[in-house]
Amino acid sequence: TQLLEQSPQFLSIQEGENLTVYCNSSSVFSSLQWYRQEPGEGPVLLVTVVTGGEVKKLKRLTFQFGDARKDSSLHITAAQPGDTGLYLCAGEGQTGANNLFFGTGTRLTVIP
């Protein structure tokens, strides 16, 4: 099992603030996906990053894949209550087995 540690585990911020969530591992991944999960639902894909150093933007969300493809970050600008949820990173192992190893998750609460 390839372990993905996310930090912080819990985050509660005021609407309008910025935040960054980290996803770290000692393993190299061929790609990394970020999902958001809302209560009572399954995770939903936000983005996939593939190339070391890659940066992708999705409106107020910015995703970065580390140069060594062992870590990733998610930065949210001007957080909104609708951003509340559980953020999960998931790494694809280099064996190409088509299975994903999910991180421990960051539970974000944005207070209006």
Partner 1 sequence: DAGVIQSPRHEVTEMGQEVTLRCKPISGHDYLFWYRQTMMRGLELLIYFNNNVPIDDSGMPEDRFSAKMPNASFSTLKIQPSEPRDSAVYFCASSLRFRTGRTGELFFGEGSRLTVL
Interaction site with partner 1 (CB under 8 A): 30-31, 33, 35, 40-45, 48, 50, 88, 90, 92, 96-105
- Nearest residue (CB) to partner 1, 36 versus 70: 36
- Nearest residue (CB) to partner 1, 8 versus 16: 8
> ∠ CA 63-13-42 to the nearest 5 degrees?
55
Cite the DSSP H helix spans in the chain: none
- Give the count of beta carbons closer than 10 Å to the beta carbon of residue 42: 7
Distance of closest approach, residue 86 Cβ to partner 1, in angstroms: 9
Distance of closest approach, residue 91 Cβ to partner 1, in angstroms: 10
Distance of closest approach, residue 29 Cβ to partner 1, in angstroms: 10
Burial of 110 (0-12, 13-18, 19+ CB in 10 A): buried
